[in-house]
Amino acid sequence: MKAEKRKLRKEISEKLKDKTLRGALGRFAEVYPEARAAAYANAGDVETLREAVKQMKIATVGQIEAVADRFEAAATKRGVQVFRAEDGESAKAYLLKLCKETGVERIVKSKSMASEEIHLNPYLEAAGITVTETDLGEWIVALAHERPSHMVIPAIHMNRHQVAEHFSKELKKEIPPDIAVMVQVARKELREKFLQADMGISGANFLIAENGAVGLVTNEGNARMVTTLPRIQVAIVGYEKLIPTIKDAATILKVLPRNATCQLMTSYTTMVSGPTPAMVKRDGKWVEEQKEMHVILLDNGRLRAAKDERFREIFQCVRCASCLNVCPVYTLIGGHVYGHIYAGGIGAILTAFLHGMEEFAQFHELCIGCRRCTTICPGKIDIPGLIEELRVRKVKDKGLPFLLKQTFENVIANRKLFHSLLRLAARGQKPFQEGKLIRHLPLFFAGLAKDRSLPAIAEEPLRDRVAKVKRKIANPDKRVAFFGGCTMDFVFPETGESVFKVLQDLNIEVLYPEGQSCCGKPVLAMGDEETMKRIARENIKALEEANPDAIVSACPTCTESLQHYRELLKDDPEWGPKAAAMAKKVREFCSLVAEEYEKHGRLKKKAGGLRVTYHDSCHMKRVLGIDKEPRQLLEAAGCELVEMKDADKCCGMSGIFGVKYAELSMPILSQKIANIEETGAEIAACACSGCMVQIQGGLDKKLPGVKMKHVADILAEKIGEKKIA
Amino acid sequence: MHTFTETWQRSFPTATSGSHLFAEFEERARAAAAEVFRCATLTEAREALLRLVEGAGVTKAVVVESPLQLAAGVTEALRARGVEVYTAPAEIAEHAPTADIGISGVEFGVAETGSVFQEGYAIATRLVTILPPLHVVFLPSANIVPDVPQAFEIIAKNFDRGYLGFITGPSRTGDIERVLTIGVHGPGRFAIIACDEAPQGGTR
């Protein structure tokens, strides 16, 4: 399928200007996490529940064809006709034929994402069949000739006035923008459709192989109408909804309503196995007749994913859409920008499989890899990890854009050239520089420095300062190699100096291997695995030569990259073992220092210092799992720690994203700055140089009274004070 | 072929379930906007229904009888009050769309979620539960299981085919501005009349 070339930037900027959308999504993002947590209050251990879903789904996808066979046999035995549709076309052809054979003229539908995926409604309507969506949100977007912008709340992007307009137009009378009134109007209108329909089409939240049952989890009651009233019942369902046993449904029902709508259970949770009776009017008399029931199992790319070692993970999705609700980007711009039907990070992945890579390629950058979704996904899907893998495959398949490829291969992978360019930049930026920041940029670059000052490239990088800060230690407890990373080396060399001071104060000898370069993350983030491998080999060589006891990085992303070399080079007979040996030595700065402080009895809370709030970097907390140690260190340095709201929500930087999509990055940053301001802290601390770039820039423009500091800087200052005293 | 109603009680987890869970069940059901009336006797249960009917100004009812309703004499009491009552499937099909109330029985409640479980293979059951604006169910108050997995212990042993479901409060939507609104397609009011006294001295 040839993807239509989209103007993504224009679409994004329109969504950002849509006040209704921004307001609705903003309020939702605000209340969702707490409402979800409250729904889980009586559910037992959430992690155990998520793990149960994951394991059940993994076991199922491993034998998906067999489970589908069992479902088909069980359903057929009970009188259901099961059709396995390879793609949308065959599903639609089957349905149309069925409609013609059985004289169906009117169809009512309850929510089925699979039917939207294959564009069923326009197809049937073109054949002269009347199709009515009966889920209120779906009906609204259908009247507006739009697409759903959220999988569970389709019309979340509209307000009551817009809905009233669409209702008034459809019903050709004035409908007031009163929600209760509009819901009653919908009830009345759609009630007639239910009673007149010949066929009801639903989706399913699960399909039980054991007894061929279709499971439906709904609130409005429309799915009960759709499966009860018309004489023919059809369910269109993707293979990922199959579960082996009846009891497995309980595993899903423990998490699905809680994650999707923050309910303990939805109003109607229904399971239908085999055709049931319906009342049909024959010659003016009501008679009971057995229904005709069909299940269309839709493949459309799913079985290919099931065979893929990595992407079979998408079968763990229960379509709760909670990944959207916590996504910093989705909650700014909504679902329409993501392409076809499925929005957000999971939508990007599904789109790649169901609609092709070209479609995916247009909007995959909207996943900023903050990993917030991975903490709540009921099926524990590594959404950002899968997107990264898709990027790698895309690049393997199609290559990178020429300029980017040139930059990666010839500049970033060539340390000497890359570093000389950075040094050159330090001189080139002079006209715009004010102190250590760039506050204004000319012409079309202006947007980049509009709500955020950019850090200047330091005049003297860390690597040139090593001789000054490095102390010779006679009997060191440890020898560590310090991996600075580009940002610390060239933008925050003072923080690099702090790292030296803190470690040396612990009787640790610090080496700074000259041959180290960029960790490679920006390259991998664009899917260029080959260049990443080259960079990895260079860094391993440089760090290995120093033969340290540990390798320390004060940036979580660099730490993660260095550890990732093991996976990256695992098939390389020469470099694989070296990468594995090195990965064991890699330590994140805060966790290492906290460990050492603990050993020396220094990890004790002290009072009397500054009010500090701590920002959890996405990768620090959710990849490395480090969130207590930096806080303990701050308190050990005498700081009064004040927690900000959403301390672990992304600052909006996320590497290249923060620059390329500055218009999206800035609102995320603004929220972070507002949360910092609310704490009344004098210092915002973090332990990631990428976040420092972003937050420092935002503070400089909007909250200049608050300073951004790395935990290492605060610790180093404390040591300085101690020395002076 | 269709045996759920005949067999499910044999699987009822008596060790973990019972009326000691009723308070939790009631709290959760109310949180889901269900109305709950707990009654000590069959007579009280009948009276509770009559009060509901009076309050709602009911003139037409569609009813599917459960043992509890039969024992409490609900249908006769309604007719005695002058309410039109329909109980045959063809009558229910004709009148459910315009009835003021649907009345049916449910098998058990779930304390964790405040849901009631109903076997609904018969078309009449499904029509009375979904079409009228008010739905009232009769529940033996001892039939409360602690949680969803326990409910599925029962279901897994007895669900060969049919139409089963949990009902948790009235029909609802949040599709316009996420404002919770009751009574979209299904009933806007959902009431549970739970009775301690069992018909003919048994637990249903």
DSSP per position, B165-182: EEE-SS-EE-TTTT--EE
Segment B189-196 mean pLDDT: 98
What is the span of the domain harbouring residue B120?
A: 17-197
Residue found by looking up tokens 């061929």 in the block: A212
Looking at residue B203, its pLDDT comes to 43
- How many angstroms away from the CA of A23 is the closest CA of chain B? 10
Which DSSP helix (H) or strand (E) runs through A334?
none
Looking at residue A440, its pLDDT comes to 67
A505 in Cβ contact with A477 (< 8 Å): no
Segment A35-47 mean pLDDT: 96
Q: Which residues pair with A301 in a beta bridge?
A: none
Name the residue facing B175 among A136, A194, A245 (closest C-beta): A136
What 8-state DSSP symbol labels residue A514? T
Out of A311-315, A395-399, A651-655, B17-21, which region has the weakest mean confidence (pLDDT)? A395-399
Q: Is residue B54 part of a domain?
A: yes
What 8-state DSSP symbol labels residue A208? E
Cβ separation A183–B183 shorter than 8 A: yes
Query: Would the pLDDT of A411 be above 90?
Result: no
Which DSSP helix (H) or strand (E) runs through A584?
helix A575-585
- What six digits make up the tokens of A421? 């360019």
Name the residue facing B123 among A43, A136, A277 (closest C-beta): A277
Query: Would the pLDDT of A3 be above 60?
Result: no
Distance of CA A374 to the CA centre of its chain: 7
Dihedral of the CA atoms A259, A260, A265, A271 (nearest 10)?
Answer: -120
- Compute φ and ψ for A530, nearest 5 degrees: -65, -45
Q: What is the arrangement of strands in the sheet containing A206-208, beginning at the earlier edge strand?
A: A242-243, A206-208, A213-218, A268-273, B162-167, B115-119, B108-110, B144-145
- How many angstroms away from the CA of B149 is the closest CA of chain A? 6
Nearest CA in chain A to B162: A273
Does the beta carbon of B187 lie under 8 angstroms from any beta carbon of chain A?
A: yes
Which DSSP helix (H) or strand (E) runs through A601?
none
Cβ separation B168–A28 shorter than 8 A: no
Segment A448-472 mean pLDDT: 86
Residue A704 vs residue A454, higher pLDDT: A704
Residue A609 vs residue A688, higher pLDDT: A688
Query: Would the pLDDT of A456 be above 60?
Result: yes
A565 in Cβ contact with A574 (< 8 Å): no
Query: Would the pLDDT of B204 be above 50?
Result: no
Strands (E), A492-628: 508-511, 550-553, 586-588, 611-614
Question: What does the alpha-carbon distance between residue A562 and residue A582 come to, in Å, rounded to a whole number?
Answer: 8
- How many angstroms away from the CA of B200 is the closest CA of chain A? 31
Looking at residue A424, its pLDDT comes to 74
A-facing residues of B in 127-186 (CB < 8 A) are: 127, 129-130, 148-149, 151-153, 155-156, 159-179, 181, 183-186
Q: What is the mean pLDDT of chain A?
A: 92
Query: Would the pLDDT of A442 be above 60?
Result: no
Segment A20-48 mean pLDDT: 95
Question: What does the alpha-carbon distance between residue A570 and residue A519 come to, in Å, rounded to a whole number?
Answer: 17
Looking at residue A613, its pLDDT comes to 98
Tens of pLDDT along A61-116?
999 999 999 999 999 999 999 999 999 999 999 999 999 999 999 999 999 999 99
Segment A358-386 mean pLDDT: 91
Looking at residue A1, its pLDDT comes to 45
Looking at residue A221, its pLDDT comes to 95
Range A464-479 burial, b when 16+ CB lie within 10 A, else e: ebbeebbeebeebebe
Return the axis-axis angle of helices A711-724 and A628-636, rounded to nearest 10°. Answer: 20
Nearest to B191 by CA among B60, B69, B38: B38
Question: Quick one: A340 exposed, middle or buried, by C-beta within 10 A (0-12, 13-18, 19+)?
Answer: middle
Segment A190-195 mean pLDDT: 96
Neighbours of A305 (CB within 10 A): 23
Cβ separation B169–A24 shorter than 8 A: no
Radius of gyration of chain B (CA): 16
Residue A176 vs residue A337, higher pLDDT: A176
Cβ separation B168–A276 shorter than 8 A: no
- How many angstroms away from the CA of B92 is the closest CA of chain A? 9
Looking at residue A448, its pLDDT comes to 64
At residue A724 the predicted structure's pLDDT band, cuts being 50, 70 and 90, is low
Cβ separation B123–A134 shorter than 8 A: no
Cβ separation A43–B112 shorter than 8 A: yes
A525 in Cβ contact with A388 (< 8 Å): yes
At residue A458 the predicted structure's pLDDT band, cuts being 50, 70 and 90, is confident
- The tally of domains found in chain B comes to 1
B195 in Cβ contact with B106 (< 8 Å): no
- How many angstroms away from the CA of B25 is the closest CA of chain A? 12
ipTM passes above 0.95 = yes
Domain of residue B170, CATH code: 3.40.50.10420
Distances (CA, A) of B159 to A209, A210, A252, B139: 13, 10, 18, 20
Q: Is residue B8 part of a domain?
A: no
Q: What is the arrangement of strands in the sheet containing B84-86, beginning at the earlier edge strand?
A: B35-39, B189-195, B134-140, B101-105, B60-63, B84-86
Q: Is residue B124 part of a domain?
A: yes
Q: Letter for the amino acid at B7?
A: T
At residue B3 the predicted structure's pLDDT band, cuts being 50, 70 and 90, is confident
Tens of pLDDT along A234-243?
999 999 999 9
Q: Is residue B92 part of a domain?
A: yes
Query: Would the pLDDT of A509 be above 50?
Result: yes
Segment A168-173 mean pLDDT: 95
Looking at residue B6, its pLDDT comes to 86
Query: Would the pLDDT of B90 be above 80?
Result: yes
Cβ separation B126–A285 shorter than 8 A: no
Q: Is residue B127 part of a domain?
A: yes
- Compute φ and ψ for B190, nearest 5 degrees: -135, 120
Query: Would the pLDDT of A374 be above 50?
Result: yes
At residue A446 the predicted structure's pLDDT band, cuts being 50, 70 and 90, is low
Question: Quick one: A681 exposed, middle or buried, by C-beta within 10 A (0-12, 13-18, 19+)?
Answer: buried
Query: Would the pLDDT of A453 be above 90?
Result: no
Nearest CA in chain A to B131: A225
Segment B79-86 mean pLDDT: 97
Give the best residue of A31, A111, A161, A183 to mutate against chain B (max B CB count within 10 A): A183
Residue A174 DSSP SS3: coil
Q: Is residue B146 part of a domain?
A: yes
Name the residue facing A219 among B127, B156, B173 (closest C-beta): B173
Residue A641 DSSP SS3: strand
Question: What does the alpha-carbon distance between residue A605 and residue A639 come to, in Å, rounded to a whole number?
Answer: 8
Tens of pLDDT along B136-161?
999 999 999 999 999 999 999 999 99
Residues of B in contact with A158 (CB under 8 A): 176
Q: Kindly list the structural domains of chain A, giving each domain's residue range(s) and its CATH number in brackets, ordered by start.
A: 8-298 (3.40.50.10420), 434-594 (1.20.1050), 602-724 (3.40.50.1860)
Alpha helices in A262-325 (DSSP H): 302-307, 322-325
A402 in Cβ contact with A77 (< 8 Å): no
Q: What is the 3-state secondary structure (H, E, C) of A92-132?
A: HHHHHHHHHHHCCCEEEECCCHHHHHCCHHHHHHHCCCEEE
